[in-house]
Amino acid sequence: MMRYTIVCLFFIVMAVAQTDKTSADDVADQGWARFRGAGGRGVSLADLPTKWSDTENLEWKTSLPGKGSSSPVVFENRIYLTSFTGYAMTDDDPGDRSQLQLHVLCFSLDDGQLIWDKEIAPSEEEQKASKRVTEHGYASPTPCVDAEAVYASFGPSGVVAFSHEGEPLWRCSVGTNTAGFGAAASPIVYRDLVIMNASIEDGAVYGIDKATGEVRWRTEGIDRAWTTPTLVPCADGKTDLVVNQKGAILGLDPDTGKRRWSCDGLDDYVVPCVIASGGLMYCSYGRSNTTIVLRSGGEGDVSQSHLVWEVPRGANVTSPVLVGDYLYWSHDKAIALCLRASDGEEMFRERMPTRGRVYGSIVSDGQKLFLTTRDAGILVIAASPEYHELATNQLGDESERFNATPAIVGDRLLIRSDRTLYSVRTK
C-alpha cells in the first residue's frame, strides 16, 4: 500500500510540474494568438495534411481587402489580420500616397467570411513606395489577440487596439522613423501590457497598458532590431523579456523594462526571433547568419558565463523552429537548413524550389516542417535530421506572392498571400 501511495504521489508531482512548465512556456499566449504562435516558437502539435492544392484539402479561401505580409492570428473562432489599400499596389505605378489606408480585418475561422474591416488613417511619416517597400508593404507586423482585444502595429502609424466586435479602443504612437524595408516587429501581450519593439521607429521598446493605450514604460537604446521580442521563463520564477539587437542580446524585466542582463552580440542588424526552450535561448544574427545559444536568466554581463555554443550558421531574416533535438530554418536565401541543437553541428543544407528570396518563417506540426516560398509554393519536409522532401504544394495563380508565415490552428494550416487567405485541412 505504501509503495502504491508513493508511486501515485510521484505521478501527481510530475503532472503538476508538467502543468507548471506548460504555463511558464506559453507565458501570455495560448494557441496561435501572436506571431508564430505560443512563445513565438512556430510549433503546434497537429495532424496537418502533407499535400494540398486548389482542389485537394483546401477547406476554404477568401479574397483579402488589400495587400500585406502579416500573418493570421486566431482567438476562438475568429481570425485577425492586417492589410493596406490605395497605394503601392504595384511596383511600376504606386499611385498617390494620400490614398493609403491601413486595415485591421476579422474573418470567421469556420468559412473564411469577412466579419469586419476597420480602416486606420496612416501617419504622414509613412515611407514612400519603392521596390524594397512594396515587396513587403505597409502591413507586415503580425497582430496579437487575447480575450479583451486585438492589437496591431503599423510601424510609424502606431499601435492600435480593437474589440472583438471591431470597436476602436485606442491608438498609441511609438515613434515615426523608418528604414529599409519598413516595419517588421510584431506586438506581444504580457499580463496587462502590450509590448512593442519600436527599435526602427524610436530606438526603444515600449510597455503599453493594454486597456488604455497609455505608455507604462519605455526602454531606450534598442539598435537595428526588426525582431519580435521573446518572453523567457527562468528557473528563479521570473520571466525575462529578451530582445536581440545589433551588438547585444538583452534581458529586460517585462513589468518595468529595466535591464537585468546583457550578452555581447554581433555588429549587425537582427530580424529573427529568439527561440527559448529547456532553459536555453537560440539567437540568430544578421548577414553573418550566426547562431548564438545562451542559458536563460542571469544578472549583469553574461557573455562568458551563459554562452553554450556559437556557429556561423543560421538565417538573416527568417526565424527557426526547434523540434526535438534539432533546429530548422527556411533560410531567406532559399535554403532548408538543419542544425543539431546540442552543439550546432550541421545536419543538412538543401536548396528550396525557388530562386527568389524567402521571407516567411518555417512552422511545424511536430512531425512535418512547412517552408513557404514567395512564388513556388510551400515545401513540406520531414522533421528529421536527414533531409526528406514530402511534397511541394501550390495555391492560387503564378502572380500571387506569399511573404507571410503560416499559422497552425487545430488541424488547419492558415496561409496568407498578398491577395488571398487560405485554410488547408485534411478532408
pLDDT along the chain (427 residues), means of 10: 37 36 38 96 97 97 97 97 95 91 98 98 94 89 98 98 98 94 95 98 98 98 97 95 97 98 96 97 92 97 98 95 98 96 98 94 98 97 98 94 97 97 96
- At 117 the pLDDT is 98
Q: Which residue do the cell numbers 500573418 mark?
A: 71
Q: Which residues contact 6 (CB under 8 A, 6 or more apart)?
A: none
282 by Cβ neighbours in 10 Å (0-12 / 13-18 / 19+) ranks as buried
Count CA atoms closer than 13 A to 118's CA, side-chain side: 18
Is the whole-model pTM more than 0.85?
A: yes
- At 31 the pLDDT is 81
CA distance 291 to 279: 16
Identity of the amino acid at 65: P
Q: Which residues contact 204 (CB under 8 A, 6 or more apart)?
A: 174, 175, 198, 218, 219, 220, 221, 222
- At 3 the pLDDT is 38
Instruction: Tell me if 141 sits within 8 A of 150, measured CB to CB.
Output: no
Instruction: Tell me if 331 sits within 8 A of 358, measured CB to CB.
Output: yes
- At 92 the pLDDT is 84
- At 27 the pLDDT is 35
Of the candidates 330, 372, 327, which has an alpha carbon nearest to the alpha carbon of residue 346? 327
- At 29 the pLDDT is 40
- At 76 the pLDDT is 95
- At 158 the pLDDT is 98
31-425 under CATH 3.40.50.300, yes or no: no
CA distance 409 to 159: 25
Q: Which residue do the cell numbers 499580463 mark?
A: 191
